[in-house]
Structure 1
Amino acid sequence: MTGLEHVAVVAAGLGAGLLTSTVGVASLVSFPVLVALGIPPVVANASNTVGLIPAGLGGSLGYRRELREQPKVTWLVVATCAVGSIGGAALLLALPPGVFESIVPWLILFTCLIVGAQPWISRWLRSRKPHDLEPRTSMGPVTTVFAALTGVYGGYFGAGSGVMMMAVLGLGLDLELRVVNALKTLAVLAANIVAGLIFVFVAELDFTAIGLLAAGSIIGGYAGAHIGRVLPPTLLRVLIVLAGITAAIAMLR
């Protein structure tokens, strides 16, 4: 890589880190940059996963106050996404490139719809059970299963996995959006760490790209957490939906 290409990858890492902690579509920025620099897609995907681990670390550190509010949910999110990502990483290494290309954009669009409509869906669900007035602050079996499936997708490719996790946790739990955003950031981190460890031992990686992404993403992740905390919930929800739609359209091209 040239000096300018090094700067471009660091900038991509910074942008991806910001998106990891806010709207959850980090790979929309970093993955295309790596491919544009001539790195093969599968190598770029695996390198991107490893390089964005610091983004999740920085973001989770920035959101530590929110994560302390729900310790049981926090640990369950980590466990389910970590286990799911093992399957996702195995799929990436075993299946031909692009197997899910035709369905993933539509899946992202569907989760964007859920994120946008989540306040109305939650109110409707609670109106169907008027006797159940206690807020849902623990993950039920259905939410746990879908969180694990999101972890599978995160280990396989990951673009839009943060949006998917926002939809899963937003529907399954009655928590403030800033807390859900913190849990989403930690979920992405858990999936990236486990998948990244697998890739380090069995996949081809570009360690220069990983180092440059990591340098930018840890700063972006930490800064993004502070931005995500102060954004009004409605604005944050709108930004998440717009980012998810943008990611889906980009993948459909």
Structure 2
Amino acid sequence: MSVIEALGILLAGLGAGAINTVVGSGTLITFPTLLFFGFPPVVANVSNTVGLVAGGITGVHGYRHELKGAGPTLKRLAPASLVGGVIGAVLLLVLPPEAFTAIVPVLIGIGLLLVLLGPWLNRRAAERRERGVSAQVAWHGPVLVAGVLVGGIYGGYFGAAQGVILMGMMSALTTDPIQRLNGYKNVLATIVNAVAAVTFMVVAWDQISWAAAGLIAIGAFAGGWVGGKIGRRLPPAVLRGVILVVGIVGIVKIIWFS
């Protein structure tokens, strides 16, 4: 690996760590970078997943204030992310790359739609509270857990725009503020990346480029800290706009490269 390649991968990790903390979709930076420098797709995907765990850790730390009191919600959702991440990682190793190509843009599109509908859904919930009706709908909880499981499978398999999908589902099915949801998203996505990375280390050690993973980890660790500082200061409308733009770019890039 040349100095230019190492610097490019390091900077890609920095950008991915920051954007993962703010929105999600950092894989859309690092994965194409590794492909550009000649890494085979599976090696690039596996190495990228291992490296981005470090950025998730600093991202979660950056949102620690928004996560105060979030224990019960995370205890309910985290197991779904953990199981989903393992399933997705295994699917990456046993299925052809074309298997999820058609559904990925659809999932991202649905996530974007749910993000856009989030304010309207929250207003409806507020109106229900004013009328003395519970803002929580009975089926929202189980559906959210199932959605987080599917998001975890997708994240373990590829990961690009996992955050957009998670934010969309949570915006539609909860009444929490968007910055708190972003904190949830950081925790859940980090769990998925971590368990997928462990799975790869156990069953696909030879598919990991440790040099690339290490450079991404260094960059993502710093990027997660930067993203935590920036993301927490964005107004809800701006954050939704960033999610929308990143999601559309993700759809275009995935279709373009498929």
Q: TM-score, normalised by structure 2?
A: 0.92
Aligned counterparts, 1:24-63, within 5 A: 24-63=24-63
Deviation at 1:122, TM superposition (A): 3.5
Letter in 2 for 1:91: L
| Residue matched to 2:69 | 69
Deviation at 1:124, TM superposition (A): 3.8
Query: Could you list the per-position Cα deviations for residues 173-220 of structure 1 after superposition, in whole angstroms to 9, with x for gaps in the alignment?
Result: 111111100110111100000010000121211100000000000110
Letter in 2 for 1:163: V
Aligned partners of 1:93, 1:31: CA distance in 2, in Å? 16
Query: Could you list the per-position Cα deviations for residues 2-47 of structure 1 after superposition, in whole angstroms to 9, with x for gaps in the alignment?
Result: 0011000010000000011101111011100011111110111111
Letter in 1 for 2:145: T
Deviation at 1:86, TM superposition (A): 1.1
Is 1:19 the equivalent of 2:19?
Answer: yes
| Residue matched to 2:113 | 113
Describe the shift of the 1:89–1:57 C-alpha distance in structure 2 as closer, same or farther (beyond 3 A).
same
| Residue matched to 2:177 | 176
Aligned counterparts, 1:85-124, within 5 A: 85-124=85-124
Which stretch shows the higher mean deviation, 68-77 or 42-51? 68-77
Q: 2:224 aligns with which of 221, 224, 227?
A: 221
Describe the shift of the 1:125–1:175 C-alpha distance in structure 2 as closer, same or farther (beyond 3 A).
closer
| Residue matched to 1:4 | 4
Aligned partners of 2:170, 2:121: CA distance in 1, in Å? 13
Which stretch shows the higher mean deviation, 126-135 or 153-162? 126-135
Unaligned runs of 5+ in 1: none
Q: 1:208 aligns with which of 199, 207, 211?
A: 211
Report if the CA contact (8 A) 2:126-2:135 is conserved: no
Q: TM-score, normalised by structure 1?
A: 0.94
Report if the CA contact (8 A) 1:67-1:74 is conserved: no
RMSD, aligned α-carbons: 1.7
| Residue matched to 1:154 | 155
Is 1:140 the equivalent of 2:141?
Answer: yes
| Residue matched to 2:246 | 243
**DSSP-derived class of the 1:66 partner:** coil
| Residue matched to 1:189 | 190
Query: Could you list the per-position Cα deviations for residues 153-178 of structure 1 after superposition, in whole angstroms to 9, with x for gaps in the alignment?
Result: 11111111000000111112111111
Aligned partners of 1:191, 1:95: CA distance in 2, in Å? 19
Aligned partners of 2:126, 2:194: CA distance in 1, in Å? 36
**DSSP-derived class of the 2:102 partner:** coil
Aligned partners of 2:28, 2:6: CA distance in 1, in Å? 18
Unaligned runs of 5+ in 2: none
Letter in 2 for 1:186: V
Query: Could you list the per-position Cα deviations for residues 63-99 of structure 1 after superposition, in whole angstroms to 9, with x for gaps in the alignment?
Result: 1111123111123332211111111111111101221
Aligned partners of 1:252, 1:221: CA distance in 2, in Å? 27
Aligned partners of 2:175, 2:136: CA distance in 1, in Å? 6
Give the number of equivalent residue pairs: 251
**DSSP-derived class of the 2:67 partner:** helix
Deviation at 1:135, TM superposition (A): 6.2
Percent identity of equivalent pairs? 39
| Residue matched to 1:165 | 166
Aligned partners of 1:82, 1:235: CA distance in 2, in Å? 30
Query: Could you list the per-position Cα deviations for residues 98-152 of structure 1 after superposition, in whole angstroms to 9, with x for gaps in the alignment?
Result: 211122112212211111121113434665784424568xx71111111111111
**DSSP-derived class of the 2:65 partner:** helix
